[in-house]
């Protein structure tokens, strides 16, 4: 195995020392303060547990705090000599070299085809404007299993090629078996077509990137031959619900600081976030084939969250991975409601916890280990906070039920208990400052830049938005804490949580859905509130911020999903982001393409897409043209024969989704059904294939 | 709306055949030549033939072929054969036009059919009926996007990740083995073991 670690400069090393020293010293200082309070009458086992939990959690908060603070300084200075973008400063912006072929790759799985292709069209149009589009090919790598979505994707692809005369520039394939999910999908691309391209730019189904940014990414890679991957942080955009708009605002407002801070200490050992990144294909193919981990799921088997591991593998092989935080033109969409956000968390949680096994694996660099550990902590922090609150509650109960003793032995004078209110308040204030100070620092950045200030709706509205966002985050924190705690526990106990697929489009959370998702949390909040109020009233009042979030979880979830409230807030100038104030061209193009796609939704046929693939000669021919040829085994032929008979006798409604996919996967069966559909319309095969209007 | 030109030549030949294809259909009895011709016309319309004369001419061609093909009375499903004949006719014509092999280039042929049905290729039924249109091939090719480029394979082998636990277990085993060997030698040296 190759082990060529990057040669870090003194400046690089110094930055890391400064960052980790700040985190460590702050944690030690806070820990010393808390220990001094506990030390008065000896540290009880409960207090010892509290100290350990506090140390871990405070270090976690400090990490974010110092990242944001350093990032703020970098943004204020407006200069970072070590940023990768600086390597382009003296580079003339000519044409890209002819051999710098780049594949823009979008792996998809049962996504809304209209949105996927509208996004790709916007990116393609934006690329056309750069005049450098000759160097780019777009690939839609479908792992879609839903037969209707599969057929619709094919139609969208064909229309895209025709409308933009993009033949030979935009490609589509549907993988027969979705082995190893997304990472397997990308590996399949590399194995089949990787040799044609020097770079690939990975997109998510909801990613949007400006053409200019894509070109700049290639230029950066050309300029830095030791770099295997450059991540451009995506900014959340386009959603209109109140929940999403608050998150978009927070991400836009504080995100710049955080990413600048991350780049400050990570430098050439940055992380990969799975999309909106450019990758050197050969290096990726040589070093990022993912193995299966020994043992069973959830910690064994396939590596679910592949991005962090791929970055670590590249770094292990001596390649650099950078975060181009100042490039811009990189966007994504976020879940529109709290419940959808939690569903996404559930998916990510298992993958991140799996990294726990990899942190100490042989051969990683220290920063790679830190990335993996931070991934684990982003979900483990919730159960730790939960445990910390439980232990604190028990400790408060124990303290309140202990009667103070003023006279010891034969001493005449009482020994008054020493008050540590000042120390405890200091601990609390420091913790809160660590949490909320970055928000004020973000406002400080606005003071410096008049244009930026205007793009957030002015200082007054931006400040009000920050305040309201802080209140919202405070109420949301205990709800997310309980969600994530539940996810972590369910993964540890190998329990599955049966939740339907996440919806990406804006939609309202209904009362029933909210009660089902948050009923348990609210009940727990009431129970804890009553018990605390009866037995430890002093603790109850300290605990109210947490209880408030839990009690309001149902209405909070419902109201925050409202698009009316989201748009209303926008009209008032609240939670504005620069992308809303001055919509970038590529997002305008996306909106236009989406409107066109929605307006021209071909529902005239009145049939679902599976039926159209059988009946409509054009759709049928397109599907056959894109279907890889496979010679079915004898057993499979019999199985398909059975499905055809089932379809003819019992209609489409009798077929399961997997059966439909089987039919669509076999060219002979599809042709046979097509001819039958036209020669025997009276059979009524497709009577139940109509799309309900 | 389907256009129904006069097909009385064929329509007045009443022939009833039961469907005897390998699939267990519930056959409708009483299929006439007229009904078959109507289905064929429906299919021609579905593939984009809208001109009345062309529709009649193409349907007549199929019906004539069918008349030659189908020895009466037979158990063959004539409507099925008729639709298959339309497809075969189109495929043969397209394969000849574009120089494609029907057996080995079935996907390209299917894409050519898509191009034909896309509605942008001008008056192809006239060419199918014998007229010439030199620009047709280019028009077709323009509407036949390749789904994927030529493959250029790269090897992507699974990397080895040596987990902490595995590493220490294997190290532990190695140390234990060394310890056993050392102990054995020591015991042999001390004469306590042969």
Residue B168: pLDDT band by 50, 70, 90 thresholds?
Answer: confident
What's the average model confidence in pLDDT over A646-670?
91
Predicted confidence (pLDDT) at residue A693 exceeds the cutoff of 60: no
Residues 659-688 of chain A with CB under 8 A from chain B are: 667, 671, 675-676, 678-683
- Give the percent of chain A with pLDDT over 90: 71
Are B114 and A625 an interchain contact pair (Cβ–Cβ within 8 Å)? yes
- Model pLDDT, residue A497: 55
Nearest Cβ partner for B117 among A168, A363, A621: A621
Are A622 and B114 an interchain contact pair (Cβ–Cβ within 8 Å)? yes
Residue B194: pLDDT band by 50, 70, 90 thresholds?
Answer: low
- Model pLDDT, residue A404: 66
Q: Is A156 exposed, middle or buried (CB count within 10 Å of its CB: 0-12, 13-18, 19+)? A: buried
- Model pLDDT, residue A418: 59
Q: Which of A341, A85, A68 is nearest to A232 (CA)?
A: A85
Rounded Cα gap, residues A188 and A281, in angstroms: 12
Q: Which helix (H) or strand (E) holds A229?
A: strand A227-231
Give the distance from residue B14's alpha carbon to the nearest chain A alpha carbon, in angstroms. 17
Structure confidence by residue, pLDDT tens digits, A181-229: 999 999 999 999 999 999 999 999 999 999 999 999 999 999 999 999 9
Q: Which helix (H) or strand (E) holds A202?
A: strand A199-202
CA A578 to centroid of chain Cα atoms: 21
Nearest Cβ partner for A679 among B80, B155, B160: B80
Give the distance from residue B27's alpha carbon to the nearest chain A alpha carbon, in angstroms. 9
Q: Which of B70, B120, B145, B163 to substitute to test the interface with A, most A CBs within 10 Å?
A: B145
Among A63-67, A375-379, A402-406, B103-107, whose mean pLDDT is lowest?
A402-406
Nearest Cβ partner for B154 among A1, A167, A190: A190
- Model pLDDT, residue A80: 86
**Given CB atoms, is A166 within the 8 Å cutoff of chain B?**
yes
Cβ-Cβ contacts under 8 Å, A292 against chain B: 158
Residue A630: pLDDT band by 50, 70, 90 thresholds?
Answer: confident
Q: How many residues does chain B have?
A: 194
Give the distance from residue A603's alpha carbon to the nearest chain B alpha carbon, in angstroms. 17
Contact of B98 with B140, CB cutoff 8 Å: yes
Rounded Cα gap, residues B57 and B50, in angstroms: 12
Q: Which helix (H) or strand (E) holds B52?
A: helix B52-69
Q: Is B68 exposed, middle or buried (CB count within 10 Å of its CB: 0-12, 13-18, 19+)? A: exposed
CA gyration radius for chain A? Answer: 28
Q: Is A302 exposed, middle or buried (CB count within 10 Å of its CB: 0-12, 13-18, 19+)? A: middle
Give the distance from residue B185's alpha carbon to the nearest chain A alpha carbon, in angstroms. 33
Q: Which of A442, A207, A482 is nearest to A334 (CA)?
A: A207
Q: Which helix (H) or strand (E) holds A172?
A: strand A170-174
Q: Which of A614, A670, A680, A682 to substitute to test the interface with B, most B CBs within 10 Å?
A: A680
Residue A465: pLDDT band by 50, 70, 90 thresholds?
Answer: very high
Predicted confidence (pLDDT) at residue A500 exceeds the cutoff of 60: no
Predicted confidence (pLDDT) at residue A460 exceeds the cutoff of 80: yes
Give the distance from residue B142's alpha carbon to the nearest chain A alpha carbon, in angstroms. 8
Are A680 and B24 an interchain contact pair (Cβ–Cβ within 8 Å)? no
Residue B27: pLDDT band by 50, 70, 90 thresholds?
Answer: very low
Rounded Cα gap, residues A121 and A123, in angstroms: 5
Q: Which residues contact B72 (CB under 8 A, 6 or more apart)?
A: B15, B17
- Interface size between A and B, measured as CB pairs under 8 A: 171
Rounded Cα gap, residues A148 and A262, in angstroms: 42
C-alpha pair distances (Å), A591 with each of A115, A242, B4: 10, 19, 44
Residue of A nearest to B164 (CA): A361
Residues 272-291 of chain A with CB under 8 A from chain B are: 281-282, 285-291
């Amino acid at each position: 195995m190759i082990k060529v670690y990057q040669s870090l400069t003194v400046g690089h090393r110094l930055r890391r020392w400064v960052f980790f020293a700040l985190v460590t010293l702050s944690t030690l200082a806070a820990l010393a303060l808390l220990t001094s309070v506990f030390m008065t009458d000896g540290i009880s086992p409960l207090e010892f547990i509290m100290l350990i939990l506090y140390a871990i959690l405070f270090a976690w908060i400090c990490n974010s705090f110092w990242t944001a603070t350093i990032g703020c300084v970098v943004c204020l200075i407006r200069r970072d000599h070590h940023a990768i973008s600086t390597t382009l400063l003296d580079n003339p912006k000519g044409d890209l070299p002819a051999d710098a072929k780049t594949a823009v790759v979008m792996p998809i799985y049962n996504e809304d085809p209209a949105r996927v292709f509208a996004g790709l069209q916007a990116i393609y149009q934006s690329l056309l404007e750069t005049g450098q589009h000759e160097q780019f090919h777009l690939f839609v790598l479908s792992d879609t299993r839903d037969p209707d979505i599969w057929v619709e994707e094919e139609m969208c692809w064909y229309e895209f090629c025709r409308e933009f005369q993009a033949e030979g520039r935009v490609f589509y394939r549907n993988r027969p078996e979705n082995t190893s999910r997304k990472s397997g999908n990308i590996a399949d691309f590399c194995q089949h077509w990787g040799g044609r391209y020097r770079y690939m730019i990975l997109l998510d189904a909801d990613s949007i990137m400006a053409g200019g940014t894509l070109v700049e990414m290639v230029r950066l890679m050309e300029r830095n031959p030791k770099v295997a991957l450059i991540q451009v942080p995506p900014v959340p955009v386009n959603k209109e619900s109140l929940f999403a708009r608050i998150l978009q605002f927070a991400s836009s407002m504080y995100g710049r600081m955080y990413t600048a801070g991350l780049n400050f200490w990570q430098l050439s050992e940055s992380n990969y976030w799975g999309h909106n990144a450019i990758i050197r294909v050969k290096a990726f193919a040589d070093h990022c084939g993912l193995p299966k981990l020994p043992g069973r799921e959830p910690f064994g088997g396939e590596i679910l969250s592949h991005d962090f591991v791929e970055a670590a593998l590249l770094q292990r092989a001596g390649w650099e991975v950078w975060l181009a935080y100042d490039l811009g033109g990189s966007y994504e969409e976020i879940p529109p409601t709290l419940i959808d956000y939690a569903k996404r968390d559930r998916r990510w949680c298992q993958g991140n916890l799996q990294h726990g096994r990899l942190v100490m694996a042989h051969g990683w660099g220290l920063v790679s280990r830190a990335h993996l550990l931070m991934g684990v902590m982003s979900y483990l922090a919730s159960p730790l906070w939960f445990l910390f609150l439980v232990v604190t509650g028990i400790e408060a109960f124990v303290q309140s039920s202990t009667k103070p003793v003023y006279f010891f032995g034969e001493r005449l004078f009482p020994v008054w208990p020493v008050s540590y209110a000042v120390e405890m308040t200091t601990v609390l204030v420091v913790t809160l400052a660590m949490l909320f100070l970055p928000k004020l620092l973000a406002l400080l950045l606005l003071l410096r830049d008049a244009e930026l200030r205007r793009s957030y709706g002015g200082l007054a509205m931006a400040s009000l938005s920050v305040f309201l966002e802080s209140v919202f985050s405070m109420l949301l924190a205990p709800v997310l804490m309980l969600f994530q705690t539940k996810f972590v526990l369910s993964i540890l106990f190998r329990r599955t949580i049966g939740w339907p697929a996440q919806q990406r489009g804006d939609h309202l959370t209904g009362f029933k859905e909210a009660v089902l998702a948050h009923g348990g949390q609210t009940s727990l909040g009431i129970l804890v509130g009553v018990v605390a109020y009866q037995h430890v009233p002093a603790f109850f009042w300290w605990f109210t911020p947490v209880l408030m979030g839990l009690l309001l979880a149902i209405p909070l979830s419902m109201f925050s999903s409202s698009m009316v409230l989201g748009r209303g807030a926008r009209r008032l100038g609240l939670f504005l982001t620069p992308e809303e104030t001055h919509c970038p061209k590529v997002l305008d193009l996306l909106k236009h393409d989406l409107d066109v796609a929605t307006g021209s939704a071909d529902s005239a046929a009145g049939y679902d897409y599976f039926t159209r693939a059988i009946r409509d000669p054009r759709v049928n021919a397109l599907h056959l043209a894109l279907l890889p040829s496979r010679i079915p085994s004898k057993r499979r032929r019999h199985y398909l024969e059975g499905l055809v008979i089932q379809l003819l006798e019992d209609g489409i409604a009798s077929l399961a989704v997997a059966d439909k996919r089987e039919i669509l996967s076999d060219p002979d069966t599809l042709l046979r059904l097509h001819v039958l559909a036209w020669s025997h319309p009276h059979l009524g095969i497709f009577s139940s294939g109509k799309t309900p209007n | 709306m389907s256009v129904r030109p006069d097909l009385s030549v064929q329509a007045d030949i009443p022939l009833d055949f039961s469907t005897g294809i390998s699939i267990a259909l519930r056959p409708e009895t009483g299929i006439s030549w007229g009904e078959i011709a109507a289905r064929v016309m429906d299919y021609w319309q579905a593939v984009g033939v809208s001109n009345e004369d062309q529709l009649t001419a193409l349907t007549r061609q199929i019906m004539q072929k069918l008349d030659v093909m189908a020895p009466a009375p037979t158990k063959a499903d004539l409507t099925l054969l008729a639709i298959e004949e339309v497809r075969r006719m189109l495929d043969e014509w397209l394969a000849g036009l574009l120089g494609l092999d029907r057996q080995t280039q079935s996907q390209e042929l299917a894409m050519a059919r898509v191009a034909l049905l896309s509605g942008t290729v001008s008056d192809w039924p006239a060419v199918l009926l014998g007229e010439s249109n030199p620009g047709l091939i280019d028009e077709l090719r323009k509407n036949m996007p390749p789904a994927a480029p030529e493959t250029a394979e790269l090897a992507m082998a699974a990397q080895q990740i040596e987990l902490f636990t595995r590493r220490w277990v294997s190290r532990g085993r190695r140390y234990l083995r060394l310890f056993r060997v050392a102990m054995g030698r020591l015991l042999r040296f001390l004469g306590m073991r042969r």
